[in-house]
Structure 1
Amino acid sequence: MDATHCRIMSLIKSLFLLLISCSLLGCLSASREKDPLKEILNSRDPAIRKVMKDPGLYEVQIRYTRILREGGAVRFKDYDFRVDSEVYFYPASTVKFPIAVLALEKLGTLDSLNRDTRYYIEGDSVENSFAEDIVKVFAVSDNHANNRLLEFLGQDAINERLGSLGVEPARISHRLGFHSDDVSTRPLIVYLNDSTTVQSKPIVNHPPVPLEISAVLKGRGYYRDDFLYMAPFDFGLKNYLPVAALSGLMKRVVFPETFSENERFRLNPDQREFLLNSMKIIPRKAGYDPVMYQDGYCKFFIYGDTEDRIPDHISIYNKVGFAYGTLTDCAYITDKENGVEFMLTATILVNSNGIFNDDQYEYDETGLPFLAALGRAVYQFELEQQ
């Protein structure tokens, strides 16, 4: 082997070792990358510290999504804390989010109807437009408005569409605010014009199948018909919309261009603008009494524990849920004045006595302060990155 060949082989070996070293250093650098959510949850804020002493007790799950803009493109960076789609939490009114979106989408496929079409449920006296019901869903989380939209869609159509878009796992099985095992929707009476109505046919849906995941049995007792049963409360047949599905839903609505065509909702620009405006509306701007419904009534992050008004330069596009001691919020939050934007989805159970349906939940003492403080801490972190 001549000297030139030896030098070439030595150079190749040196380059190979350099590449290996760079690769290892890159891996070490990536492994040492700080998790901002971990730092945020180490906050000295008493509302956060109280829950973080035992997050398992409160069944906390959190996904914080940083929105990274590179040129004209958007990229997401998710940071998770205890997020697990196989560990159940009751989604409460967050299920109204996909129902509202899918109602708009379905209206876009019907020549004879639009969101301003008025309608009512057979046997009911409440008459609204689809647009009014969608606004009610987001502004004050109105159960009846949601249920009317569910009658319009049917559970099977909701679940099939979410699955086809990749918003999963998810399962909508029942109405909200009252119990009903009826799998058939109630007919809608729809106004085609001021004097002409048409009645829809009932939609027969499949009955729900018990969920086979963890934590569907909760607590040590529950009330039913004013009687206390000392046994865990079974959520196995109830709605199911985990953090991953909620986060995926929000991303598709706010940044549809980041998804392939078959993963997007079929909303035209006008529909999408209406949806986003409905998602960020606060009760007083929707015509509700600001004393009864403060700005933070359905905006848990940042403002859920205060009566302060939300400044105009901050917009919170979100959907909350609160029932059975579980508080959940899924939000896209922007501050145009300071260039802040992020997504946050979190859930917490506050039911210290382990009894369900007794209305003894620590929403104000623990749940809302935690979610509000969490939102403020994430906002502050984002602000410091500017």
Structure 2
Amino acid sequence: MNRSLLLFALLFYFGKASIAQERTDKSLREILTKAGNDNLNQVLRNPDQYRVQIIYTEINRDKHNKPSFKNHYFHYDPKLYFNPASTVKLPLAFMALEKLNTIQQKGIDKHTPVVFDSSNVGQKPLHTDASAAGGLPSIAHFIRRALLISENDPYNRLYQFVGQQEINRSLRRRGYGGSRIVRQFAGYTTEQNRHTNAFRFLNADGSTRYSQPSLYNPDPIDFSEEIKLGNAHFDSRDSLVNGPFDFTGHNKLPLEDLQQLLQSVMFPASVPKKQRFNLTPDDYDFLYRYLSQYPSETPYPKYDTTEFYDSYVKFFFRDSTHRMPEQVRVFNKVGWSYGFLTDVSYVVDFENQVEYMLTATVYVNSDGVLNDGKYEYDTVGYPFLYNVGQIIYKHELGRERKHKPDLSAFKIKYEKRDPQDTRPVLTEVDN
């Protein structure tokens, strides 16, 4: 083969390899485009501009109610970076409960008060939590706050509790080699994020029952892949920089990993044993409740339900009414940051005996400037995810099933607010 032909063959091979990363299934494309509107079709026609990725997971049951799963993809590419934002709180909740089960200290569980000390430069202590029933922090309350409306400091505390080293070793053990969680939402440097705060679990009298010193992650982190987006950005000093924003050292969670993480907890028997978390039946019940419960149902924290309405973190059902269908529950986690909107959901309609999973991300930043707070969340992003969600929901309502699912495992006895509770509501949080 002469040099020209060899060069052409190599270009063809590597070009084909790069194109092959992106996956779109004809069936999902047809479902979306046939039912789509102008907002949705605008995004679907420009998937590279909007960095859109969608995974629709069809669930079918056999006569014994055993589920099987089939993923359908639109523009899915594990190499196409999106900022996972608050979706990283999902695996952190799982890992924190798992760590509690490995501590195995008598009298310590997710409800035991835990306090954090300041162990290194820049760290902040935490000894009280006014939003909790007893006024003290706990792993359970961090998870509530991280899932119900996606508060940030609870995520930081779960990160400190598990530790950067164990977080990323856990991801690798479970086969999520393309994922990493290396940053808290606290403005820390890469080096500062390697350190964790010391923490102490407390007895009823305030004495220490169990403690862990500050930890440091010595494991190398692979930042060899450069990830830069945009035309310009504002830096930490609010100065405009005429160059792309650098995501190279940020958290990373490919969409299929995110989908599989949620599936591993909603349906642990459906994934390989190495992907399952070491959780108790009570842990699963706890997670199912707070993945699907509404702020209006939750007494602690007592959120303002005008600001934090029922569909606030249910992007596939978030419309102008702010209400959720009575017969539907969504077990999910969302994230929004830097112009990215993401949702990973397991949806159940108990009345119509419908279930499915839907995971999607979209990037809405038409001016190409990051960190300026100017993103098209309201005009493009939220409407797009709502439209995708409603199209798939209606498709599922009409899809024939050989066996109707028994969904009783996901019927939760939700909390109720006391109408006589006169405590002030929380109107402002960091999320």
Range class of TM-score, shorter chain: 0.7 to 0.9
Q: Which residue of 1 aligns with 2:292?
A: 280
Whether the aligned pair in 2 keeps the contact of 1:138 and 1:281 (CA below 8 Å) is no
For 1:155 and 1:321, locate their aligned partners in 2 and report how far apart those are by CA, in whole Å.
20
In structure 1, what residue type is equivalent to 2:51?
E
Asked if residue 247 in structure 1 is aligned to residue 239 in structure 2, the reply is no
For 1:94 and 1:352, locate their aligned partners in 2 and report how far apart those are by CA, in whole Å.
23
RMSD: 1.7
| Alpha-carbon distance, 1:159 to partner | 1.2
Whether the aligned pair in 1 keeps the contact of 2:332 and 2:345 (CA below 8 Å) is yes
For 1:270 and 1:55, locate their aligned partners in 2 and report how far apart those are by CA, in whole Å.
41
Whether the aligned pair in 1 keeps the contact of 2:312 and 2:322 (CA below 8 Å) is no
Whether the aligned pair in 2 keeps the contact of 1:316 and 1:334 (CA below 8 Å) is yes
Counterpart of 2:327 (choices 287, 310, 313) is 313
For 2:50 and 2:128, locate their aligned partners in 1 and report how far apart those are by CA, in whole Å.
38
Q: Which residue of 1 aligns with 2:37?
A: 45
| Alpha-carbon distance, 1:261 to partner | 2.6
Whether the aligned pair in 1 keeps the contact of 2:327 and 2:351 (CA below 8 Å) is yes
Asked if residue 258 in structure 1 is aligned to residue 270 in structure 2, the reply is yes
| Alpha-carbon distance, 1:147 to partner | 0.4
Q: Which residue of 1 aligns with 2:87?
A: 94
For 1:299 and 1:126, locate their aligned partners in 2 and report how far apart those are by CA, in whole Å.
29
| Alpha-carbon distance, 1:383 to partner | 0.3
Whether the aligned pair in 2 keeps the contact of 1:316 and 1:333 (CA below 8 Å) is yes
Q: Counterparts of 1:286-325 in structure 2 under 5 Å?
A: 286=298, 287-303=302-318, 305-325=319-339
For 2:336 and 2:222, locate their aligned partners in 1 and report how far apart those are by CA, in whole Å.
24
In structure 2, what residue type is equivalent to 1:118?
P
Q: Which residue of 2 aligns with 1:369?
A: 383
For 2:92 and 2:162, locate their aligned partners in 1 and report how far apart those are by CA, in whole Å.
8
Asked if residue 60 in structure 1 is aligned to residue 60 in structure 2, the reply is no
The 3 A distance-change label for structure 1 pair 41 and 185 is farther
In structure 1, what residue type is equivalent to 2:70?
K
Structure 2, unaligned runs of 5 or more: 1-24, 118-124, 130-136, 401-431
The 3 A distance-change label for structure 1 pair 345 and 70 is same
TM-score of the two chains, using structure 2 as the length reference: 0.78
Q: Counterparts of 1:71-86 in structure 2 under 5 Å?
A: 71-72=63-64, 73-86=66-79
Whether the aligned pair in 2 keeps the contact of 1:105 and 1:267 (CA below 8 Å) is yes
Query: What whole-Å deviation, never above 9, does each CA across 1:253-280 have from its counterpart, x for those lacking one?
Result: 1111112333311111111111111111
For 1:179 and 1:109, locate their aligned partners in 2 and report how far apart those are by CA, in whole Å.
28
Counterpart of 2:187 (choices 168, 178, 185) is 178
Counterpart of 2:215 (choices 167, 178, 203) is 203
Q: Which residue of 2 aligns with 1:188?
A: 199
The 3 A distance-change label for structure 1 pair 281 and 168 is farther
The count of corresponding residues between Structure 1 and Structure 2 is: 351
Q: Which residue of 2 aligns with 1:117?
A: 112
Counterpart of 1:155 (choices 138, 150, 164) is 164
For 2:341 and 2:207, locate their aligned partners in 1 and report how far apart those are by CA, in whole Å.
43
Between 1:110-119 and 1:343-352, the stretch displaced more is 110-119
The 3 A distance-change label for structure 1 pair 156 and 384 is same
For 2:55 and 2:239, locate their aligned partners in 1 and report how far apart those are by CA, in whole Å.
38
Give 3-state SS (helix, strand or coil) of 1:247's partner: helix
| Alpha-carbon distance, 1:168 to partner | 4.1
For 2:59 and 2:126, locate their aligned partners in 1 and report how far apart those are by CA, in whole Å.
44
Asked if residue 166 in structure 1 is aligned to residue 175 in structure 2, the reply is yes
Whether the aligned pair in 1 keeps the contact of 2:28 and 2:74 (CA below 8 Å) is no
| Alpha-carbon distance, 1:207 to partner | 5.8
Structure 1, unaligned runs of 5 or more: 1-32
| Alpha-carbon distance, 1:84 to partner | 1.1
Between 1:199-208 and 1:91-100, the stretch displaced more is 199-208
For 2:222 and 2:37, locate their aligned partners in 1 and report how far apart those are by CA, in whole Å.
42
Whether the aligned pair in 2 keeps the contact of 1:324 and 1:357 (CA below 8 Å) is yes
Whether the aligned pair in 1 keeps the contact of 2:28 and 2:73 (CA below 8 Å) is no
For 1:284 and 1:41, locate their aligned partners in 2 and report how far apart those are by CA, in whole Å.
35
The 3 A distance-change label for structure 1 pair 312 and 115 is farther
For 2:32 and 2:139, locate their aligned partners in 1 and report how far apart those are by CA, in whole Å.
40
For 2:222 and 2:304, locate their aligned partners in 1 and report how far apart those are by CA, in whole Å.
41
For 1:71 and 1:260, locate their aligned partners in 2 and report how far apart those are by CA, in whole Å.
22
For 2:177 and 2:39, locate their aligned partners in 1 and report how far apart those are by CA, in whole Å.
31
For 1:228 and 1:34, locate their aligned partners in 2 and report how far apart those are by CA, in whole Å.
42
Q: Which residue of 2 aligns with 1:16?
A: none
TM-score of the two chains, using structure 1 as the length reference: 0.87
Give 3-state SS (helix, strand or coil) of 2:35's partner: coil
| Alpha-carbon distance, 1:55 to partner | 1.6
For 1:194 and 1:281, locate their aligned partners in 2 and report how far apart those are by CA, in whole Å.
32
Between 1:103-112 and 1:150-159, the stretch displaced more is 103-112
For 1:211 and 1:343, locate their aligned partners in 2 and report how far apart those are by CA, in whole Å.
33
Give 3-state SS (helix, strand or coil) of 2:257's partner: helix
